Structure 1
């Protein structure tokens, strides 16, 4: 067996190994605490309002026994975090410890304090979230955010509650405009939690952060929906705000086909809402307070939607034509046979569902453009 040659270099290596064996550690000069980890937040932007819920992920948030390792947290406009046992100074705002919930070693949630004293802007102010250990002797994590002004809806402008219209057909598709301040290209809006589509934001002519009423507008397409009292909410980088007005969906109809001969017994399909709750009759004379019918009314008539008198189902004192053999396919679809329309009206016919009876027409569908049937010569 060959014996390794003993050299001065090898002697130094053996000496170093012996030292490690004795002490068990090797010290790195200048390291006084663990490296500050970059925390991940579920948001990149925040508003000035208190009690916004933020979820934070990282590592080593608690011990194996479940004891929290993170306690003192604060926001700062400084460029770096500094360990502080007492959060002081105008550039620092403490997170209330009672509002911090350590879920696991890698996840925590907390409620924000009010950040209004940091003076948020529409362009965003760079801030830091600093997480410390329980004694405030060490910063264990940090995250970058931007602080923005919250959007504002000017309720005195733009129609009802700052919104150009607060009603629309169940099918959606109508356009509304919301007037306010602090809107940006990232601002969105919802009705009853459903997003407006084709959103376009136009900044007003006022200067940035001027606070001038009616500075900005947001225009979008209303989503389909049902019901009344739906919240109209605008969300921007700095938070969310709801209009003082709510949105109501109006029952509406679509008819297919929309064009046909005026001959008797042409079958049409109606799409709408709430059909299963109605009991349909086929004659105007059978229209009682608990019944519904499908009325076929000349579009040029004096038919008035929304009134509660017998005039609502008559045309010039004559009962309207009524769709026959109504078959409810589902809550949103029914079929029926049109009456003879030859020679009755050269224009189109509004197809309406009337509910409530001849003396109390409580329910009248709104007529969408697609609910007009045109009798044409073929």
Structure 2
């Protein structure tokens, strides 16, 4: 078979889909299915194709043309894990801002328990669609570990959102990487200071799962804040769900607790439920404070005091960062600031 070839700008023949197929020992149709994200391709074939793409540095011709001349108006979006309020809201804010700016967004969703191969496959698929940049919405340590050990060649900018800024830079093999984050430590300090100002000293924290970067920061900041005040930190484990907040609250000796600081609003909802079942009055008997300010928080019984994160602004900032990287403009990374919203629960 005779195939057309292109050059990589240095006089050398650029690898084609047929070169990838030969290296992987599969048909070119299989290569095409892999780079276009066909879920029916068997895992061992997908792995062989991904390895061949990496070894050859293969880029589809459309992408090569965009890199050489015109600029793609497509952006890749990789989301991870369950449809949690924060990441989902960030992704929606990003997509709306991108659409308003004339971009179209191509989505790839990782499984709930992501492996390094899942991220590699998602990126391979998006790069095959000629994206100008990739946005990764994930505060999951497993995804960021996969990004740091990535083997797929990524020649476009990558923006990590909902992550601690310093950890995005672990991905040293990526040519251009930036992070957009909301200051989780500042939000936690706001919450704790609010409780301290109201005389609460026996404060328990119900933390999110350990795979979450944001949960880690909130947990660590709570501990350091309590210890700096000469108080004993008490941390209970949750998993972001109301059920986990309910279960944690049922283990408390509420006669020895002034307030409960929850890692998110959904767990706070479960805590309120448990306290209502036990006949406790919030905030008269015990205060409850959440994090995120989901739309329902203002309608809990009682309305929830919480730390608001502006996820719409987060999504817009992610787009602005991606565009700056694509256009080669100077990048001024900042931490977005949360806001304390005081309602009746604390």
Which structure ranks higher in relative contact order (CA pairs < 8 Å, sequence separation ≥ 6)? 2
TM-score, normalized by the shorter chain, greater than 0.5: no
TM-score by length of 1: 0.25
Q: As a proportion of its length, which structure holds more helix?
A: 2
Q: As a proportion of its length, which structure holds more strand?
A: 1
TM-score by length of 2: 0.27
